[in-house]
Amino acid sequence: MKSADTIIDARWIIPVEPAGVVLDRHSLVVTAGEVIALAPTSQIASTYTAKRHLTLHDHVLIPGLVNLHTHAAMTLLRGLADDKTLMDWLRNYIWPVESRMVSPAFVHDGTLLACAEMLRGGITCFADMYFFPEAAADAALQAGMRASIGIIVIEMASPYASDAGDYLTKGLAMRDALSDEPLVSFCMAPHAPYTVSDSTLERVATYAAELDIPIQIHLHETKEEIQESVATHQVRPIQRLQRAGLLGPTLIAVHAVHLEPHEIASLARHGCSVAHCPSSNLKLASGVAPVAGMLEKGINVGLGTDGAASNNRLDLLNEMRHAALLAKAASGDPTALGAHEALHMATLAGAKALGLDARIGSLVPGKRADIAAIDLSAIELSPCYDPASHVVYAAGREHVSHVWVDGELRVEDRHLQGIDERELRLKAAHWKDKIA
């Protein structure tokens, strides 16, 4: 018999690779944080023993969900200014509060709160864009969560940095300091074309190429953003990015709601990815991204929650459902985005956009053991004909029972491991009092 750290027997496993597969009564074997075997439970039982053996009779195992875009620390601003237009929300509510309140402590506590929420919903990896990114990285490591930390760049001064050059200097120093952390990766994070100059965009493109890291940027989120770009620069934002050399396989276009057919073709031709944030787009009335058209052209589309201040949930199961339903309604085609495709968007597509698909995003031997277990035994989930359909259309984050990150159990029987929930609630109340 071969020895392992953990064996997980499950009623179903959806590995995501190969696509469209649901495995019945299979088991995963994990050693040193790596998936080393995936096979029928009867075969595993005759081959492996483990220090820990879990049998999940009514559960489906899926890869840990990948939140391709969020501003984690903004969890502390959840519900602060709802039902506003995007620019009203930013200029008159969010940015003024941030100028007063944002600090390393604010970012750490807000990010830790976000990590707790995301882990409980089966999210094991997130891409962040916010101030004081080293504090966000510290919080993610404290939670035992995988994170792609954004080197944020913006022209305006903030409590974190004075100008674009200062943002870059501090962000690159942060990357150097944390480069040995196995759960932390990095991406360039220029905020948006309307807050970043052409010369800064060119610098970002240069650094991203030198460091071989992705670039995430808000792009074509609203009609107003595009109108402003045409008035100021005489071109649409995507054309500014192309001139600056940002269009390519490392680009993650966040939102990408308002795209002309030729712009979809351009993103596809350059191998760009898109971070689709359906709930945030709906809440801010930004519009409905043409996801069916993007997928038809072969664009890699992942899913993001955006920040809790504009969503107001860091819930990727909810995003999968919204993404599938919106794609069907917008295209007039009920087959436009099926359950398996939506799950791919929330896992392997996000991992690919972040350059992590060789390590995470699917449950195959050789990849890291980022896993979520969803209990399908609840009365509201009975009966279950198709677990993939249930994951996307019926189950909620309250049905997530276990979560592993890099082989370490971070949620067990719906309880967070290694995070003091009472202390976290007290910190949230403290920041609410300060902000209010």
**Domain assignment of residue 428, yes or no:** no
pLDDT of residue 89: 83
- Taking the C-alpha atoms of residue 191 and residue 78, their distance in angstroms, rounded to an integer, is 20
Q: Which helix (H) or strand (E) holds 261?
A: helix 261-269
User: Which residue reads 């999210």 in tokens?
Assistant: 123
User: Which residue reads 């509060």 in tokens?
Assistant: 97
pTM over 0.95: yes
**Domain assignment of residue 432, yes or no:** no
Residue 113 shares a structural domain with residue 53: no
DSSP secondary-structure letter at 144?
T
CATH code of the domain covering residue 302: 3.20.20.140
Residue 31 shares a structural domain with residue 49: yes
- Taking the C-alpha atoms of residue 393 and residue 321, their distance in angstroms, rounded to an integer, is 6
Number of domains the chain contains: 2
Residue 177 shares a structural domain with residue 230: yes
pLDDT of residue 253: 98
DSSP secondary-structure letter at 368?
B
Residue 83 shares a structural domain with residue 122: yes
**Domain assignment of residue 170, yes or no:** yes
Residue 83 shares a structural domain with residue 103: yes
Residue 373 shares a structural domain with residue 224: no
pLDDT of residue 85: 82
- For residue 426, how many other CB atoms are within 10 A of its CB? 10
**Domain assignment of residue 433, yes or no:** no
**Domain assignment of residue 363, yes or no:** no
Containing structural domain, residue 87: 65-353
Provide the token pair at 353.
Answer: 């956009």
Residue 283 shares a structural domain with residue 389: no
pLDDT of residue 86: 78
In the chain, what is the greatest distance between 2 CA atoms, to the nearest angstrom?
A: 70
Tens digit of pLDDT at every position of the chain (436 positions): 899 999 999 999 999 999 999 999 999 999 999 999 999 999 999 999 999 999 999 999 999 999 999 999 999 999 988 888 878 888 898 889 998 999 999 999 999 999 999 999 999 999 999 999 999 999 999 999 999 999 999 999 999 999 999 999 999 999 999 999 999 999 999 999 999 999 999 999 999 999 999 999 999 999 999 999 999 999 999 999 999 999 999 999 999 999 999 999 999 999 999 999 999 999 999 999 999 999 999 999 999 999 999 999 999 999 999 999 999 999 999 999 999 999 999 999 999 999 999 999 999 999 999 999 999 999 999 999 999 999 999 999 999 999 999 999 999 999 999 999 999 999 999 999 999 8
